[in-house]
Structure 1
Amino acid sequence: MVSDEDRDLLAREMSGVRPIKQNKADIKSGKVEVPEFTLRLRRRQATVENSINVDGLSDSHLVAVAPEEYIEHLRPGLQHKKLQKLRMGQLEIQYNLDLHGFTFDDARDMLQRFISFCRKNHYTTVRIVHGKSRGSWEQQATMKTYVNAWLKQVPGVLGFASCLPVDGGTGAVYVLLSRPR
């Protein structure tokens, strides 16, 4: 049972309250826009059944990487201290590859040949400059996105991390390679 005093109190507290005119939530207002580059990748993947090339590097399942985004990858078994040294630029860079101006197909070929050459010559720490692709495809990195995906697939790549600003920043990666057996 509610007392008259409680009813009066409730009436005073509710005096300025107005009923809601609609009872549906606006679920579209929080919608996140998908970058055009990501949409293009998704469309391409939907139309290409299997895009693994002869060299074994796949272009499917690419995740768009923003121009200023830091990237890194660590293979299982690699010591975290080694990755930390790589991140901090504390390992001597023994060889460099610059992919500016290459098409994706040429860059893929060059990347594999470069890593093969470096491993044969016992280079274990190299740098690959991929650029940031700021002006292309709705501010999404293109070559950077591909390099990020390819390096994860190349045998002999133990790990990689975006460079320090002095070595190219997020437009380049330090790569740690295994020695050939």
Structure 2
Amino acid sequence: MGDDANHNASTDDENRLFQQEMAGVKPLRQHQAQTSGKSDTIPEFTKALRRRSAATDYTPPADGLSDTHIEPIEPEQPIEYLKAGLQNSRFKQLKQGHFPVDYNLDLHGCTIEEARNLLTRFLAFCQDQHYSCVRVIHGKSHRSFGQQDTMKSYVNQWLRQINAVQAFCSCLPRDGGRGAVYVLLKTRR
């Protein structure tokens, strides 16, 4: 017990000495929240998109594009979609390349997030300009085959979700073949 009494006495002395040294000291007030430094883990392209979005008046369309389930598309697999209500004859004309292409969007070199932003803005712009048929070049993704995150797979999914899109299909070889799609847009009234 003698050792415990000596230990308690020395602890009491240390506490008293500490209290004397700290007399009159006031805690610092913080005006900023502590950060954990996690901002360094945000990819640079995401930071750039955030900066651009904050600097512009652009408001993303109400069509929120989901990417929760992306069906993998093979590089040479044709893709097509026909919204209910569109005449089959118009879809057949689209597939045969009978509509003049009013405008093009090339997504080569874009990240998935950049492509999503560009695609929604591009289609909104084209609809505002009263374009009826446009072409989106997504590439075939030969180097990424077997992975879900290919641009072709995302474009296939996103176009199905956008209200302005009536139909789309892989292009004829002269217009990019299976690395691009013709997109038929609704006309705004």
Bin for the TM-score computed over the shorter chain: 0.5 to 0.7
Cα-to-partner distance string for 1:63-97 (whole Å, 9 max, x where unaligned):
11000000000000000000000000011000000
Question: Which of 121, 125, 132 pairs up with 2:129?
Answer: 121
- Alignment match, 1:67: 75
User: Quick one: which amino acid aligns to residue 58 of structure 1?
Assistant: S
SS at match of 1:110: helix
* 2:83/2:167 contact within 8 Å kept: yes
Identity %: 53
CA deviation after TM superposition for structure 1 residue 138, in Å: 3.4
* 2:72/2:146 contact within 8 Å kept: no
Please state if 1:172 is matched with 2:180. yes
Question: Which of 58, 79, 90 pairs up with 1:82?
Answer: 90
SS at match of 1:135: helix
Matches of 1:88 and 1:115, distance apart in 2? 22
Matches of 1:173 and 1:106, distance apart in 2? 18
Matches of 2:66 and 2:148, distance apart in 1? 20
Cα-to-partner distance string for 1:90-143 (whole Å, 9 max, x where unaligned):
110000000000000000000000000000000000000000110124377700
User: Quick one: which amino acid aligns to residue 56 of structure 1?
Assistant: G
Matches of 1:71 and 1:62, distance apart in 2? 13
User: Quick one: which amino acid aligns to residue 155 of structure 1?
Assistant: N
Greater CA radius of gyration, 1 or 2? 2
* 1:133/1:141 contact within 8 Å kept: no
* Structure 1: gaps of 5 or more residues: 1-53
> Structure 1-normalised TM-score?
0.68
* 1:67/1:140 contact within 8 Å kept: no
* 1:59/1:146 contact within 8 Å kept: yes
Question: Which of 157, 161, 169 pairs up with 1:161?
Answer: 169
Matches of 2:166 and 2:145, distance apart in 1? 30
* 2:63/2:163 contact within 8 Å kept: no
CA RMSD of aligned residues (A): 1.8
* 1:66/1:140 contact within 8 Å kept: no
Going from structure 1 to structure 2, the CA distance change for 1:89 and 1:125 (only over 3 Å counts) comes to same
How many residue pairs end up in the alignment? 129
Going from structure 1 to structure 2, the CA distance change for 1:156 and 1:55 (only over 3 Å counts) comes to closer
Please state if 1:92 is matched with 2:89. no
* Structure 2: gaps of 5 or more residues: 1-61
> Structure 2-normalised TM-score?
0.65
* 2:134/2:183 contact within 8 Å kept: yes
